[in-house]
Amino acid sequence: MNLKNQKPLLSLTLLAVIAYLLHKFIFYVLKIDVAVFQYSIEVLYLLFFGMSTLIFIVLLKVKEKSFDNVGMSFLLGTSIKMVFCYLILKPILHITTYDNTIEKVNFFGMFILFLVMETVLTIRILKEKQ
């Protein structure tokens, strides 16, 4: 792949790093204790970033073979990611020993953040045909 084909991956990496730094800063300012979280912020960012990177690698391969199937591949990849995220979220949902509202909001916020990044970058890929 040349640099033009890797642009979505580079954009995703840059956006993820910026989001991570901002996330850590917000938690630091608000003095939120993440020690009790089931998954650390770093682990969640690595998981979400890894899944998003995998989706974009597949999308870029599909783009080379059949540009018309990029949108459907994105929907399939996102659906599979959603199932995987539910399996990761399941232990958080069953915690009863402490109030984990912040942890749930954190997880869903990160899921939505990466979903928005993926969607915007996929739209950029789809606009290339025009």
Q: Is residue 128 one of the residues assigned to a domain?
A: no
Task: List, for residues 61-89, the tens digit of each pLDDT value.
Answer: 999 998 889 999 999 999 999 999 999 99
E strand map for 6-109:
none
Expressed as residue numbers, the domain containing 41 is 7-122
What value does the mean pLDDT of the chain take? 90
**DSSP, res 39:** S
Overall number of domains in the chain: 1
**Percentage, residues of the chain above pLDDT 70:** 95
Q: Is residue 129 one of the residues assigned to a domain?
A: no
Amino acid at 52: S
- Counting other chains too, the contacts that 66-70 makes at CB distance below 8 Å and 24 or more residues apart are 67/129, 70/122, 70/125, 70/126
Q: Is residue 84 one of the residues assigned to a domain?
A: yes
Q: Is the pLDDT of residue 33 over 90?
A: no
Higher model confidence: residue 105 or residue 98? 105
